[in-house]
Amino acid sequence: MLLEKLQTIDQRFRELEGLLGDPEIIKSQDLYQKYRKEYADLSPLVQTYRRYQQVQKELADSQSLLKEEADEELKALVREEIQALKDQAASLEEELRFLLLPKDPNDEKNVLLEIRAGTGGEEAGLFAADLFRMYSRLAERRGWKLEVLSHSPTGIGGLKEIIAAIAGNRVYSQLKYESGVHRVQRVPVTESQGRIHTSAVTVAILPEAEDVDLQISPEELRIDVYRSSGPGGQSVNTTDSAVRVTHLPTGLVVTCQDEKSQHKNKAKALKVLRSRLLDLKQQEQQAQIAQERRSQVGTGDRSERIRTYNFPQSRITDHRIGFSTHGLKMEATLDGDLDELLQALTTHYRTQALQQA
């Protein structure tokens, strides 16, 4: 069944190669782009399938050689090669099964990163700032573009809340498992007795909504303008540049006052609102598909404690997969080197998805 499906896909891939070279198709840009996208989507699967076919051919050749070979020393070498080829074939077969799973339609999207201080007072705000720096450094390492849309600072260098847009190659696919409660255990700078405090920060990773994702009628919005407050330039408290957007059907409210321009603040607020509405829409759809939405792969449950950052023990632990980093590795992670952690999460949920398929 698996091989029949792969053969059909490979045949379609060859058809697409021919279509993309057809002058009539090239003239029709809409059709050309449609076929080009389908070709690009199928390419990883087809290339893996062809590698699998090549390994199977080499395996059959080696097994034939084993029957014909009389020299015991050479036979031993062939047996080793056969085992290596069997291992490679098994690995490629698992990869093929994963590539055949339904794709998350959001994986290609850019994201909105929302970080909010939770329990823990000023220390939670300071840790929110630490987490924002961690994701900022990750974006820098990956070559992603990060733009702050809205932020609310505390008086001692922390953050009550910050919302940022992150754009780049498949950002959502790499960050979607970061949604949840991040807990920190450390001695706060505000603590004079040296006691360890536990604080919490919530992180939300929302796929950035596009015009095709959902339509918002102007009648569904109430837009209020008011004067900015807090630290800023000369225009703060002198012009009505801050914007509050309310989505009347859901009651969702987004405010933005980071820019001096009312127009820019409105555009940013609408961007955040669209993504929150898309997230809400997808949650409702997932709830209809399965009552146990929170146990599904990649749902990004933001009420769940997912990770603890224990500073006295120099350890970060992800509770969903039992993964821990220690010492200098913890410092590197907080400086944006999340490669090992993100890969471990991807592998875990990938395995889970294959088991549920």
Residue at token pair 């919530």:
202
Q: Is the pLDDT of residue 151 over 60?
A: yes
Q: Where are the domains of the chain?
A: 2-99, 111-208+295-356, 218-288
Q: Is 345 exposed, middle or buried (0-12, 13-18, 19+ CB in 10 A)?
A: buried
Distance of CA 254 to the CA centre of its chain: 23
Place of tokens 């998350």: 104
- The per-residue pLDDT for 132 is 97
Buried b (16+ CB within 10 A) or exposed e, 106-130: beebbbbbbbbbeebebbbbbbbbb
Share of the chain above pLDDT 70, in %: 89
Is the pLDDT at 246 greater than 60? The verdict is yes
What's the confidence (pLDDT) of residue 290? 47
Q: Which fold has domain 111-208+295-356?
A: Alpha-Beta Plaits (3.30.70)
Q: Distance (Å, rounded) from C-alpha 259 to C-alpha 196?
A: 38
Q: Say if CB 92 and CB 6 are below 8 A apart.
A: no
Q: Could you report the per-residue pLDDT of 172-200, keeping only the tens digit for each? A: 999 999 999 999 999 987 676 778 899 99
Q: Which CATH number fits domain 218-288: 3.30.160.20, 3.40.30.10, 3.40.50.280, 3.10.450.350?
A: 3.30.160.20
- Give the model confidence (pLDDT) of 279-326 as tens digits: 888 777 666 544 433 333 333 345 568 999 999 999 999 999 999 999
